[in-house]
Amino acid sequence: MINFLFHMPTRIIFGPGKLKELGTTPYLPGKKALLVISAGGSMVAHGYMQLVQTLLAQNGAESVVFDRIQANPVLEHVAEGAALARTEGCDFVIGLGGGSSIDAAKAIALMVTNSGSYWDYMPSGTGGRQVPAKPALPIVAIPTTAGTGTEADPWIVITREQTNEKIGWGNDSTYPVLSIVDPKLTLSVPPRVTAMTGMDAFFHAVEAYLSHARQPTSDLLAQQAVSLISSFLPQVVQNGDSIEARTMLSWASTAAGVCESLSSCISHHSMEHALSAYYPEIPHGAGLVMLSVPYFRYLTRYVPDRMIDLAYFMGVDVDSLPANEQPFAFVGALEKLIKDIGLDDLKFSDYGVHRDEMPTLAANAQETMGGLFNLTPTQMNLRVVTEIFEAAYR
Ligand SMILES: [Zn+2]
């Protein structure tokens, strides 16, 4: 029996060179934008910030830049950005950059219109569990990496540093109203970041394919994203100059973002959030990669048919394998992909993580991101989650 809710309200303009449509689109949702970018200076160095401001001006919109966002964005900067938007009278918010800048833009857009702290609205952990009284200001997303899919979903990931909590949340008003996905903007992303962000998109698709929340469209898009990333990510990590290959990865990332809207990630993402809440210097994609092999090996016995599908999508000749080995072909292909993109050297210990912290991380994953455990193909208690962390430890 098929039952589902299809809701995907974001207008997506996709294609190499499409950023210029920011200058002409009739769908700009306001007259004065808060333009949210990272603190690192890369949006200025590549000229993207100036270009976006010029295009907005062409389209009759003013813009004010907020450039304080760090990787794994924090509460303090959400409050600062919202205060600036209010003082300046901004009527929409643009996130330009990687997932951190776009997620921060979404959180800022919510806090321009709502009182209190962003954390008052978090539904888990130490969050205040309030429901926002008002919708967020309209959000525009312009990604410069191929990975998070946040341009095609309502999700916002913000970290509360004092309590080591990194929670994903969103509502209908935090879907971008407009996303411009121009793969040319990803040409400047270095190989290792390309590899890590590409694997984030890969896992969004894989998890959406395994989730209890899956539906026909998310299945189709997950298949497409897994297949494209398996083919093109190793190629782009080797040589990042091909706009054709970069375009395939951008589409895979956006497709996997739609999967996150129509289906959902599962507890693999809960476990990664715990890791990077305690160790914010661990890139999200790196954390996922380090956890992935023992995590998906554990799940294989509960969803063997879906695992066989995923191996097919990755291009494995599953039919040539003995029947008892077929469900595990996905984990084998995953290990090979990680090696092919040069991420097989990632280790918890290189980031200063200690082995005796695994039970703490497991408990944090369940307390802060417990909702995704309910969508995971099997129940996972604290002991199982701890064992997977321990198996991933190197
Ligand atoms: Zn992710």
How does pLDDT run across 225-253, given as a tens digit for each residue?
Answer: 999 999 999 999 999 999 999 999 999 99
- Compute, in angstroms, the gap from residue 285 CA to the centroid of ligand 1: 7
Instruction: Kindly state the average pLDDT of the residues 250-265.
Output: 98
Average pLDDT, the chain: 97
- Compute, in angstroms, the gap from residue 117 CA to the centroid of ligand 1: 24
Q: Tell me the domains of the chain and their CATH numbers.
A: 11-185 (3.40.50.1970), 189-392 (1.20.1090.10)
- Compute, in angstroms, the gap from residue 88 CA to the centroid of ligand 1: 32
Check: CB of residue 355 under 8 Å from CB of residue 393. Answer: yes
Percentage of residues in the chain with pLDDT exceeding 90? 99
Evaluate if residue 110 carries a pLDDT over 90: yes
Check: CB of residue 37 under 8 Å from CB of residue 8. Answer: no
How does pLDDT run across 288-334, given as a tens digit for each residue?
Answer: 999 999 999 999 999 999 999 999 999 999 999 999 999 999 999 99
pTM of the model: 0.97
Q: How far does CA 186 lie from the centroid of its chain? A: 16
pLDDT at 1: 76
Instruction: Kindly state the average pLDDT of the residues 263-290.
Output: 97
pLDDT grade for 276, boundaries at 50, 70 and 90: very high
Percentage of residues in the chain with pLDDT exceeding 70? 100
pLDDT at 2: 87
The phi and psi torsions of 64 (rounded to 5 degrees) equal -125, 130
How does pLDDT run across 157-198, given as a tens digit for each residue?
Answer: 999 999 999 999 999 999 999 999 999 999 999 999 999 999
- Compute, in angstroms, the gap from residue 319 CA to the centroid of ligand 1: 31
- Compute, in angstroms, the gap from residue 201 CA to the centroid of ligand 1: 7
- Compute, in angstroms, the gap from residue 205 CA to the centroid of ligand 1: 10
Virtual torsion, Cα 119, 158, 36, 144, nearest 10 deg: -160
- Compute, in angstroms, the gap from residue 126 CA to the centroid of ligand 1: 22
